[in-house]
Structure 1
Amino acid sequence: MVATETKHQTDLPNGGVAPTRAGRAVLSAAAVQSTALGAELWVAADTLITPLAREEAERRRITLRVGDVPAASAIPAAAPAPSPDASRTVAVGADHGGFELKTLLKAYLAELAYTVTDVGCFSPEAVDYPDLAYAVARLVADGRAAAGIIIDGAGIGSAMVANKVPGVRAALCYDLSSALNSREHNHANVLTLGASLIGPGLARQIVKTWLETPWGGGRHAKRVAKIMQVEQRFLKS
């Protein structure tokens, strides 16, 4: 056992802490991404913490603790709540083509007990989708929203824009299977929808499925980590 979040020890392979060829454990960004915002993550003293994992911990306000796991009596009953607590906050945005569907989905998100941060647009007048997609993606990347939903005519352009923002994994979903897969396998944190391609009933089902599907971790963790490593190569160039 090489790592733990607050009280719980994390075993391989689901924790995302993998042994190197020399037997030394490595804490990956994927493991940090699966840790709750504002929590503590304990790792063994000889664990190699990758630069990407440290960046992800800082972004998610996660405190990395190195050393032996303290006794249960020495650990607070609960990790301190992040400030502000974004765990139930969903950022939403749409261009004029998605304005009507956004309005409907905002009400639905409220029914599901989510807090909604609406970046616009606020009327059916023509606007440029890149501006709204960037605004949503930035809230997610900064940790001010746990997830984002962007709506335009087809959902394609908004996904392209959102995926330019470091830390964002945006997925265009058009049915329940793609919604489930994008969360469980790809750890998507932004959903894009095409208002001209799906109706409001299906849109609600996709949103609910997408938000309620947990990240699978396990064998998927190293692949998501590689997605983020590609991003880091260009950030460092």
Structure 2
Amino acid sequence: MKIGIGSDHNAFRMKEELRKYVTSLGHEVVDYGCYSEDEVDYPGVAFNVATDISQGKLERGILVCGTGIGMSIAANKVPNIRSAQCHDVFSAERAQLSNNAQIITIGAKVIGDELAKQVVKAYLNVSFQGGNSARKIDQIMDKEKEFLLSGLSC
């Protein structure tokens, strides 16, 4: 798979570890920054990864910041994107299996590198199978389209 990865300065070191790890799993990785521990705002990184996923340039994304919360909120602002914050293996699997999330986010100040690697591996090792979950995702995406077409915001 072609995976986009990005972080803010709080998670630069973890992003670098995960970038190497995902590559070692045989995936192509596109690094969206940041590229040092110099302060950077995370929304732009999240928007870029999410936009490229929505345009079909990437298959999935991994975003890392201090908590994973901000990156997930930002990524979810891009139409047709489902991003899930994950700090354990079960949530990472369910992000894909139940929610067909194209992006997971991780907090570098919440979990360590080794658990982050397990979370990423669990997320990348499963594929959405549809079933009852497809109906629920369709409902979410229909509501998003309704808001976008009406010009209303949530």
Query: Shorter-chain TM-score: what band?
Result: over 0.9
Matched, 1:186 2:77: no
Aligned 1:93-104 pairs, distance under 5 A: 93-104=6-17
Matched, 1:150 2:55: no
Aligned 1:79-90 pairs, distance under 5 A: 88-90=1-3
- Distance in 2, matches of 1:217 and 1:194, equals 28
Residue identity matched to 2:90: S
Aligned to 1:151, the other structure's residue is in SS state strand
How far residue 216 of structure 1 moved from its aligned partner, in angstroms, is: 2.5
The residue aligned with 1:23 is none
Query: 1:197 is matched with which residue: 86, 110, 121?
Result: 110
How far residue 235 of structure 1 moved from its aligned partner, in angstroms, is: 1.1
Residue identity matched to 1:97: N
The residue aligned with 1:50 is none
Matched, 1:119 2:63: no
Query: 1:207 is matched with which residue: 116, 120, 142?
Result: 120
- Distance in 2, matches of 1:132 and 1:100, equals 16
- Distance in 1, matches of 2:144 and 2:124, equals 24
The residue aligned with 2:144 is 231
TM superposition score normalised by structure 2: 0.96
- Distance in 1, matches of 2:76 and 2:143, equals 12
1:2-25 deviation per Cα after TM superposition (whole angstroms, max 9, x unaligned): xxxxxxxxxxxxxxxxxxxxxxxx
1:51-105 deviation per Cα after TM superposition (whole angstroms, max 9, x unaligned): xxxxxxxxxxxxxxxxxxxxxxxxxxxxxxxxxxxxx100011000110000001
Give the root-mean-square deviation of aligned CA atoms: 0.7
The residue aligned with 2:80 is 167
- Distance in 2, matches of 1:231 and 1:163, equals 11
Segments of structure 1 that go 5 or more residues without pairing to the other structure are: 1-87
Aligned 1:22-171 pairs, distance under 5 A: 88-171=1-84
Sequence identity percentage = 40
How far residue 180 of structure 1 moved from its aligned partner, in angstroms, is: 1.0
Segments of structure 2 that go 5 or more residues without pairing to the other structure are: none
- Distance in 2, matches of 1:110 and 1:181, equals 23
How far residue 234 of structure 1 moved from its aligned partner, in angstroms, is: 1.2
TM superposition score normalised by structure 1: 0.62
Aligned to 1:149, the other structure's residue is in SS state strand
1:144-194 deviation per Cα after TM superposition (whole angstroms, max 9, x unaligned): 000011100000011001001011100000101111111111111001000
- Structure with the largest fraction of helix: 2
* More contact order relative to length (CA 8 Å, sep ≥ 6): 2
- Distance in 1, matches of 2:107 and 2:129, equals 26
1:198-225 deviation per Cα after TM superposition (whole angstroms, max 9, x unaligned): 0000000000000111113111111010
- Distance in 2, matches of 1:119 and 1:107, equals 14
